[in-house]
Amino acid sequence: MITLTIDGREIQVEEGATILQAAEKMGIRIPTLCHDRRLLPVGACRICLVEVENPRPGLVPACATLVAEGLVIKTATDKVKKVRKTILELLLINHPLDCPVCDKAGECSLQDLTYEYGVSENRFSGKKAALRIDVVSPLIERNLNRCILCGKCVRICDELMDVAETGFIGRGYEARVGTDFDRPLDCEFCGQCLDICPVGALTSRLFKHRGRVWELEKVETTCAYCGLGCAFTLGVKRGKILKARGADSSSINDENLCVRGHFGWGYIHHPERLTKPLLKKEGRLVAVSWKEALHEAVRRFRQIKEKVGPDALAGIGSPRLTNEEVYLFQRFIRAGLGTNNIDHAGGYGHAGLSALKDSLGYPGTVKNLQDSDCILLLRSDLSETHPVAGIKVNLAVKRGRAALIVANPYPIKFSRHAKQSLIYRPGNEIALLNGMVRVMIEENLINREFVNTSTSGFDAMSKVAAAYTPDKVKELTGVEPAAVIEAARTYARAERPAIVISAGYAPLGEDDRLVQAAINLALITGNPEGIAYLVERNNSSGAFWMGAVPSLLPGRQPLKNKGEFEEVWGAALPGKEGMSALDIFNEQSVIRGLYLVGENPLAACPDPVRTRQVLEELELLVVQDLFLTEVAAMADIVFPAAGFAEKEGTYTNTEGRVQEIKPALTPVGEARPDLDIISELSRLMGHEMSYSSAAEVRAEIKKLVPDFEQAKAFEGKGKLVGIEQRDVVEEISKDYPLILMDGGLRFHSGSLSRYSSALTGVSPEARVEMSSLDAKSNEIEGGRQVKVRSRYGETLLQVAVNDRLPQGRVLIRRYPKSGLMNLLPQPEFKDGRYEGKICTVKVVKA
């Protein structure tokens, strides 16, 4: 600890802190322009100058000067004030002073400081800049005449995003921030630069001339796209969201946001939002009253229940719903309808969560990622799937010099910084991990003590791993033996290694096995807290934990524990295990009435033809959603639901953190929060539910699920389980010569993003990526339309030639309407579980 004096008061701070940090700790404000907590200090603008009295008198920039023992500082002397004022005058020489029309007004540091320091006239004069305003780049407007060259946008784009879209161009008085050859932005559109800009040089097109900052009501809530659950603040004016900004330095995102969080919420105001309940009459959906729609649903649920029995009914919820909604939904299905036929469509994709729960006791953590000294990025194209977690990887690697091992079936953005890039044969992750485990055991790189005290199952596990010799791993994965050995050593020798896996990629249904194989690696080296399993949707974790699964009650309690639930719910519960989403859409489906809440199986399940057939044969289809999705259009009854900004509740993020969402708007039209709809339906069905708020539902959940807030860290007991690599890739033949890989896309997530014009506006058209060699041998040119055909279906796409892609593989990202699901096989039911396959395809000219 170091003791120094600031403005007459003593303070103790840690070594390595800056004067600015010390002052902040004491609540003393020092103005800054080029400084941001998240960036490395550069000390460029000098507005933060403070006076040193001892030891060597003079002025120093507070943001870039480290504290020293005995330092005596004054932050607001006349001298300091005068210098700050001069700096402002110099900045204002070429600043346009168009504050009345500038969208930053109200949160512009330059304007605020000019006012604070009373700069009313300028002793200096010079040419005002006359740069062309960038009106072409999407989402972000750049008016560099207002730029004060603080460099924060350049640095955040480089240091955190690792995009480096812009840089300083030219020099001296002419220096400016821009892209090469002044082209429009063509980047990740995270909007980080826009939020960090202290002036109006970078502003949001979505906010342009829509209001003034001080008119906005600020609502702190949680992003509803991916499983990270970034904290953000919405700016709302007259019932419209105009802005979002990363919030809360204590949350997972540390104020950062990706393009979806920053710009993707516009779907909530989409003109096609459902505003009234709909009922199918004479083959057409017509608007009806809530009363009519609800009564009709209840009448027909009852009819089926009485005629065929409760197990002819089923419900599928969505990992987009809040915990409270998922909980009530499963309660309604179980106690109201009387069946355990309940699931959420993404469920089998997130089976990794159960492995974490069962073998590690907590859901993994992202928190430590940034401080890791070695990161194994396994099947995780983070800049596309979880961009904010990608920031942590960038920081660990670029700032912390962590050794990065990228293991992915195709090169990704992070590959450029990788110590090792292991491109393996799709679907063979487990072989790779087992291979690494074997090397570690062979070379005695494991933490015996930890294995002995904190794990079980080592011997059986190592027996399985022993078979994965470097040569066998090479045969399965294509990765060279030396590379596997090196990766194992790098990981094992690191002090704080981390493994990152993103959930829900092919082969579907394998994630629990994959995650267990990764847990083995983490546990034998004694690193139970270095594992991050990143789920896809905002509440994938919650849906899993709140019992939207056929075999488990809330809190993952087995059906045989139903007594306690029966007591609280006041109803008898079915004891027979229910059907999963995959069973429901199976050929032998016996479901007659289906209730879908926020889920579109036509877009989310493989083999849409089969799925459609099942849906068409239903006697009753009730859909509850924000939009008339493809599946809602087929429904008999449609309930209009409220979106994330129109309701209250909680989401559980990928780390198991329970985070609140707060209503920023009233629901559009007659739309209602899912919570209301479900409880009313249940009441009419004869199963009483009455809650006045989400908090009340939460209180009930906590009674039944004591660990509603799941364990946040390893609690001392881990399980090692040997996992064999299955053969998951379909046969490669002349008819289907290419392996199909599916990938994430940062501009989209599920089905809501396609109603966000901001996101669709910057997202490329759906494409299939091919290596140039494969393109050549198939006589296909980039940009052309092609047919991608698998054994199950086909889809029409544009080709993008990607030179970095390995030969023999094609990549389709999850664009809306990519037709990816048409190509994928239905997982097969084998030995009591569904097993997905990675399919092979052929690409032919359209």
Partner 1 sequence: MLHKEQNLETVLSEYKKEQGSLIPVLQRAQAIDGYLSKPVMSRVAGELGLYESDVYGVATFYTQFRFAPLGENIVKVCHGTACHVSGAEEISDSLCNHLKVEEGETTADGKFTTERVVCLGCCSLAPVVMVNEETYGRLTSDKVKKVLDKY
> Under the rule (CB under 6 A), what is the footprint of ligand FES?
32-35, 43-48, 61, 63-64
Buried (b) or exposed (e) across 831-844, using 16+ Cβ within 10 A?
eeebbbbbbbbbbe
Rounded to 10 degrees, the C-alpha dihedral 349/354/356/362 comes to: 120
Select the binding partner of residue 61 from ligand FES, partner 1, ligand SF4, none (C-beta < 5 to 8 A, by kind): ligand FES
**First-to-final CA distance of the chain:** 69
416 sits near partner 1 (criterion: CB under 8 A)? yes
Best CA proximity match to 505, nearest among 436, 433, 410, 431: 410
**Nearest approach, Cβ of residue 64 and ligand FES (Å):** 6
129 sits near ligand SF4 (criterion: CB under 6 A)? no
**Nearest approach, Cβ of residue 148 and ligand FES (Å):** 10
Select the binding partner of residue 415 from ligand SF4, ligand FES, partner 1, none (C-beta < 5 to 8 A, by kind): none
Please choose, out of 169-177, 302-310, 599-607, 691-699, the segment that lies near partner 1 by the rule CB under 8 A: 169-177
Q: Which residues pair with 499 in a beta bridge?
A: 376, 531
Interface residue with ligand SF4 among 157, 740, 797, 838 (CB under 6 A) is 157
Best CA proximity match to 522, nearest among 503, 490, 498, 487: 498
Rounded to 10 degrees, the C-alpha dihedral 295/297/298/300 comes to: 120
Please choose, out of 17-25, 250-258, 510-518, 703-711, the segment that lies near ligand SF4 by the rule CB under 6 A: 250-258
Select the binding partner of residue 181 from ligand SF4, partner 1, ligand FES, none (C-beta < 5 to 8 A, by kind): partner 1
470 sits near ligand SF4 (criterion: CB under 6 A)? no
Amino acid found at 258: C
- Please name the residue that has the structure tokens 């919570």: 675
Q: Which is nearer to ligand FES, 50 or 762 (CB)?
A: 50
Cα 173 to chain centroid distance, Å, stands at 42
Q: Which is nearer to partner 1, 181 or 214 (CB)?
A: 181
> Do residues 600 and 571 lie in contact, with contact meaning Cβ atoms separated by under 8 Å?
no
Those residues with Cβ within 8 angstroms of residue 711's Cβ, 6 or more apart along the chain or in another chain: 361, 362, 656
User: 694-700 long-range CB contacts below 8 Å, 24 or more apart?
Assistant: 694/322, 694/324, 694/647, 694/648, 694/649, 694/650, 697/324, 697/327, 697/328, 698/323, 698/324, 698/650, 700/327, 700/568
**Nearest approach, Cβ of residue 195 and ligand SF4 (Å):** 9
332 sits near ligand SF4 (criterion: CB under 6 A)? no
Q: Which is nearer to ligand SF4, 143 or 527 (CB)?
A: 143
152 sits near ligand SF4 (criterion: CB under 6 A)? yes
Rounded distance between C-alpha atoms, residue 471 and residue 435, angstroms: 9
Residue nearest to ligand SF4 (CB): 261
**Nearest approach, Cβ of residue 61 and ligand FES (Å):** 4
Please choose, out of 147-155, 284-292, 407-415, 483-491, the segment that lies near ligand SF4 by the rule CB under 6 A: 147-155
Rounded distance between C-alpha atoms, residue 595 and residue 635, angstroms: 10
Q: What are phi and psi of 659, to 5 degrees?
A: -125, 140
147 sits near ligand SF4 (criterion: CB under 6 A)? yes
Residue 806 DSSP code: P
388 sits near ligand SF4 (criterion: CB under 6 A)? yes
Interface residue with ligand SF4 among 117, 189, 348, 651 (CB under 6 A) is 189
Interface residue with partner 1 among 170, 271, 575, 832 (CB under 8 A) is 170
> Do residues 319 and 344 lie in contact, with contact meaning Cβ atoms separated by under 8 Å?
yes
Q: Which residues pair with 564 in a beta bridge?
A: none
Those residues with Cβ within 8 angstroms of residue 387's Cβ, 6 or more apart along the chain or in another chain: 188, 190, 258, 259, 746
Interface residue with ligand SF4 among 19, 50, 113, 257 (CB under 6 A) is 257
> Do residues 253 and 228 lie in contact, with contact meaning Cβ atoms separated by under 8 Å?
yes
Rounded distance between C-alpha atoms, residue 26 and residue 10, angstroms: 9
Please choose, out of 91-99, 191-199, 404-412, 726-734, the segment that lies near ligand SF4 by the rule CB under 6 A: 191-199
803 sits near partner 1 (criterion: CB under 8 A)? no
**Nearest approach, Cβ of residue 165 and partner 1 (Å):** 6
Select the binding partner of residue 197 from partner 1, ligand FES, ligand SF4, none (C-beta < 5 to 8 A, by kind): ligand SF4
214 sits near partner 1 (criterion: CB under 8 A)? no
Q: Which is nearer to ligand FES, 46 or 657 (CB)?
A: 46
Could you say which residues in the range 225-244 bind ligand SF4, by CB under 6 A?
Answer: 225-226, 228-230
**Nearest approach, Cβ of residue 163 and ligand SF4 (Å):** 4
**Nearest approach, Cβ of residue 62 and ligand FES (Å):** 6
Helices (H), 239-322: 259-263, 290-307
Amino acid found at 661: I
Q: Which residues pair with 284 in a beta bridge?
A: 281
111 sits near ligand SF4 (criterion: CB under 6 A)? no
Interface residue with ligand SF4 among 13, 20, 156, 768 (CB under 6 A) is 156
Interface residue with ligand SF4 among 71, 177, 500, 531 (CB under 6 A) is 177
Cα 55 to chain centroid distance, Å, stands at 49
Q: What are phi and psi of 543, to 5 degrees?
A: -60, -40
Instruction: Give the Å distances, CA to CA, from 773 to 232, 304, 805.
Output: 44, 56, 10
Please choose, out of 167-175, 663-671, 676-684, 791-799, the segment that lies near partner 1 by the rule CB under 8 A: 167-175
> Do residues 698 and 651 lie in contact, with contact meaning Cβ atoms separated by under 8 Å?
no
> Do residues 36 and 22 lie in contact, with contact meaning Cβ atoms separated by under 8 Å?
no
Best CA proximity match to 593, nearest among 244, 378, 337: 337
504 sits near ligand SF4 (criterion: CB under 6 A)? no
Q: Which two tokens stand for residue 834?
A: 């569904």
593 sits near ligand SF4 (criterion: CB under 6 A)? no
**Nearest approach, Cβ of residue 162 and partner 1 (Å):** 9
**Nearest approach, Cβ of residue 49 and ligand FES (Å):** 8
Please choose, out of 168-176, 370-378, 436-444, 743-751, the segment that lies near partner 1 by the rule CB under 8 A: 168-176
Select the binding partner of residue 228 from partner 1, ligand FES, ligand SF4, none (C-beta < 5 to 8 A, by kind): ligand SF4
Rounded distance between C-alpha atoms, residue 490 and residue 492, angstroms: 6
Preceding peptide of 507 cis, ω within 30°: yes
Q: Which is nearer to partner 1, 170 or 706 (CB)?
A: 170
202 sits near ligand SF4 (criterion: CB under 6 A)? yes
Interface residue with partner 1 among 56, 101, 125, 180 (CB under 8 A) is 180
Cα 354 to chain centroid distance, Å, stands at 19
181 sits near partner 1 (criterion: CB under 8 A)? yes
445 sits near partner 1 (criterion: CB under 8 A)? no
Residues shown for the chain: 846
The contact set with partner 1 (CB under 8 A) reads: 154, 158, 164-171, 179-181, 416
Q: Which residues bind ligand SF4 (CB under 6 A)?
A: 140, 147-153, 156-157, 161, 163, 165-166, 177, 185, 187-193, 196-199, 201-202, 223, 225-226, 228-230, 253, 257-258, 260-261, 386-388
